């Protein structure tokens, strides 16, 4: 017997309970992984609360790192003892999880287990945001929200490495210090941020806004763009954005709006390899710092969700079985 978190119904963090579970058996193209750490992501809270539909009983988690302890009959690329990570697993809030071999990422030697669990989902997200949702070029000015969050800290570092000017928003002094350490050029509070962005850009506005906050920032994000700027709305930490009139894009200056999701930017092995290899290489070399802001025993998954939703966290949260 082993342990896993389950939710028997949608609800608040309290629906997450530790339960006994069978060790899962890998299918032909699957790996059985002993989880060293599981990543906590905002999407896990949307699934737990019922904003995104899932079937119950539900074990959250799509991100983990650990060691392969068994392989399916048709697996050729991995063997027992390999260290792997994934952003595309399921039921990773557990001591053991199954990972499809084609979605497993080999972990380089220079990357420890906690960094390996912290990086895949937020790292590949930051990668597709700046390369594929909107291609950031040196000299662009970019606004990102929640600059001390998991995605935010990685995004800022990748943007600075690209040669962009980064303006970010945060809610506290502690978060401001972390955003600056990651390289942000300007760190704002949310109140009146669009006006401040205009001032900082000589009235012009930014080339692109990366907005993972959603409801509370959406209008200000649109108002921060220059003519023909792009709003990349990639999350809803403050709640979903209500229905939207496309005419506002015209009025704002022939703006564009996209609402991307990671899965559509990992369409094939080449794309997955491109993104994961670049972010893992950057982490292994020390060029990209991955901040684990909180580690929780597996049994305290509810506590991690509570902290994340209360915006009490910085960087990445991990569950450690
Ligand atoms: P974060 O670590 O960034 O945590 C969310 C942060 O959002 C908070 O710390 C807080 O920072 C800010 N925030 C602002 N308003 C609220 C609010 N009302 N409630 C809670 N938080 C708020 O989380 P992640 O890095 O895991 O994810 C960031 C966003 O990116 C999420 O919306 C997530 O869904 C999205 N995402 C989207 C992906 C995609 O492919 N589309 C993939 C991965 C993540 P502060 O206190 O500074 O305001």
| Domain ranges (residues) in the chain | 2-119+290-320, 124-263
Burial of 258 (0-12, 13-18, 19+ CB in 10 A): exposed
Consecutive H or E run containing 284:
helix 269-285
Per the CB < 8 A criterion, the answer to whether 152 and 145 are in contact is yes
The reply to whether the predicted model has a pTM over 0.95 is yes
Those residues with Cβ within 8 angstroms of residue 165's Cβ, 6 or more apart along the chain or in another chain: 139, 140, 141, 142, 185
Tell me the CATH architecture of domain 124-263. 3-Layer(aba) Sandwich (3.40)
How many separate helices (H) and strands (E) can be counted in the chain? 10, 15
Q: Residue 1: its pLDDT value, please?
A: 86
Closest ligand 1 atom to Cα of 150: 25
Give the Å distances, CA to CA, from 40 to 187, 193, 276, 315, 317: 25, 28, 18, 11, 5
Q: Residue 301 C-alpha to ligand 1 middle, in angstroms?
A: 17
What residues does ligand 1 touch, defined as CB less than 6 Å away? Answer: 41-43, 121-122, 125, 146, 148-152, 170-171, 175, 212-213, 216, 234-238, 260-262, 308-309, 311, 313
CB atoms closer than 10 angstroms to residue 11: 12
CA 103 to ligand 1 center in whole angstroms: 24
- Mutate which of 151, 184, 190 for ligand 1? The one with the most ligand atoms within 8 Å of its CB, which is 151
CA 193–ligand 1 middle distance (angstroms): 17
Q: How many CB atoms are closer than 10 A to CB 22?
A: 9
User: Which residue's alpha carbon is nearest to atom 47 within ligand 1?
Assistant: 170
Q: Residues 106, 112, 118, 122: what is their CA dihedral angle, to the nearest 10 degrees?
A: -50
Compute, in angstroms, the gap from residue 112 CA to the centroid of ligand 1.
25
Under 8 Å between Cβ of 222 and 245: no
Largest CA distance in the chain: 63
- Residue 30, beta-bridge partner list: 100
Q: Which of 172, 212, 214 to mutate to test the pocket of ligand 1 (most atoms within 8 A of CB)?
A: 212
Contacts of 25 (CB under 8 A, 6+ apart): 32
Which atom of ligand 1 lies closest to the CA of 128?
40
Ligand 1, atom 4, residue with closest C-alpha: 149
Per-position b or e across 54-89, b if 16+ CB within 10 A of its CB = eeeebbbbbbbbbbbebbbeebeebeeebbbbbbbb
End-to-end C-alpha distance for the chain, whole angstroms? 14
- Cβ neighbours for 57, distance < 8 A, ≥ 6 positions apart: 6, 7, 8
CA of 253 to the centre of ligand 1 (A): 27
Cα–ligand 1 centroid distance for 129 (angstroms)? 14
Q: How far is the CA of 239 from the centre of ligand 1 (A)?
A: 10
What CATH number does the domain located at 2-119+290-320 have? 3.90.180.10
What string of pLDDT tens digits covers the 321 residues of the chain? 899 999 999 999 999 999 999 999 999 999 999 999 999 999 999 999 998 999 999 999 999 999 999 999 999 999 999 999 999 999 999 999 999 999 999 999 989 999 999 999 999 999 999 999 999 999 999 999 999 999 999 999 999 999 999 999 999 999 999 999 999 999 999 999 999 999 999 999 999 999 999 999 999 999 999 999 999 999 999 999 999 999 999 999 999 999 999 999 999 999 999 999 999 999 999 999 999 999 999 999 999 999 999 999 999 999 999
CB 315 within 8 A of CB 292: yes
Interval between CA 149 and ligand 1 midpoint (Å) = 6
**DSSP output for 245-270:** -THHHHHTTS-EEE---GGGG--SHH
């Amino acid at each position: 017997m082993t342990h896993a978190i389950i939710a028997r119904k949608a609800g608040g963090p309290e629906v997450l309970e530790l339960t006994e579970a069978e060790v899962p058996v890998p299918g032909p193209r699957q790996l059985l992984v002993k989880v060293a750490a599981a990543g906590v992501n905002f999407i896990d809270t949307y699934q737990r609360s019922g904003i995104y539909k899932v079937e119950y009983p539900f074990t959250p988690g799509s991100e983990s790192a650990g060691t392969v302890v068994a392989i399916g009959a048709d697996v050729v690329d991995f063997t027992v003892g390999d260290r792997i990570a994934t952003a595309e697993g399921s039921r990773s809030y557990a001591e053991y999880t199954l990972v499809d071999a084609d979605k497993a990422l080999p972990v380089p030697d220079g990357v420890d287990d906690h960094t390996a669990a912290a990086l895949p989902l937020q790292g590949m997200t930051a990668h597709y945001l700046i390369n594929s949702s909107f291609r950031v070029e040196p000299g662009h000015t970019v606004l990102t929200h929640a600059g001390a969050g998991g995605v935010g800290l990685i995004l800022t570092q990748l943007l600075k490495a690209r040669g962009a000017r980064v303006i970010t928003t945060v809610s506290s002094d502690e978060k401001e210090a972390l955003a600056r350490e990651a390289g942000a050029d300007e760190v704002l509070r949310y109140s009146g941020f669009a006006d401040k962005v205009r001032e900082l850009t000589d009235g012009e506005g930014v080339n692109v806004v990366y907005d993972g906050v959603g409801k509370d920032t959406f209008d200000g994000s649109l108002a921060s763009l220059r003519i023909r700027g792009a709003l990349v709305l990639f999350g809803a930490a403050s709640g979903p954005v209500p229905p939207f009139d496309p005419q506002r894009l015209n009025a704002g200056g022939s703006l564009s709006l996209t609402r991307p999701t990671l899965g559509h930017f990992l369409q094939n092995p080449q794309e997955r390899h491109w993104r994961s290899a670049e972010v893992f290489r950057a982490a292994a070399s020390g060029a990209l710092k991955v901040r684990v802001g909180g580690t929780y025993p597996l049994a305290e998954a509810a506590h991690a969700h509570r902290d994340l939703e209360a915006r009490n966290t910085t960087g990445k949260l991990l569950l450690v079985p």
